[in-house]
Amino acid sequence: MRALLQRVTEATVTVDGQTVGRIGPGLLILVCAMPDDDAARAEALAAKIAKLRIFRDAAGKMNLALPDTGGAALVVSQFTLAADTSRGNRPGFSGAAPPALGQALYDHFADHLASLGLPVERGVFGAEMQVALVNDGPVTIWLEN
């Protein structure tokens, strides 16, 4: 699975003019399942993110993980993280998992994050979404397992 993490002071996701997910301080997590991914990879990625120390401590150093801060996660499916730009000027997305597998792993990933004690909000898989965020730092990290 692939994930792009953005440390945020706030983030929202809107579908058809309706806000479907909103968080204050925490992580916006854009996630993409790949064809060879499975539930174990989704759980491993969620566990890694939950333990990743990218939040400031009292001394201003990146030394705290999301659970230490009381922050939340906003998880948004993003098949475009599988973009192949090696040929031409139009990206290809055939490297992303098929929709049924992608949705199952997206849901499993978000559910596993929640099972780790994190407040989790979600986008809507496969929907046209508008995502708004205030990147904190800015801190943006790419993860792949």
Give tens-digit pLDDT for 109-122: 999 999 999 999 99
Catalytic residues: 78-80
pTM score > 0.85 for this model? yes
Per residue, what are the HEC states of the chain? CEEEEEEEEEEEEEECCEEEEEECCEEEEEEECCCCCCHHHHHHHHHHHHHCCCEECCCCCEEECHHHHCCEEEEEECHHHHCECCCCCCCECCCCCCHHHHHHHHHHHHHHHHHCCCCEEECCCCCCCEEEEEEEEEEEEEEEC
Q: Is the pLDDT of residue 102 over 90?
A: yes
> CATH number of the domain at 2-144, please?
3.50.80.10
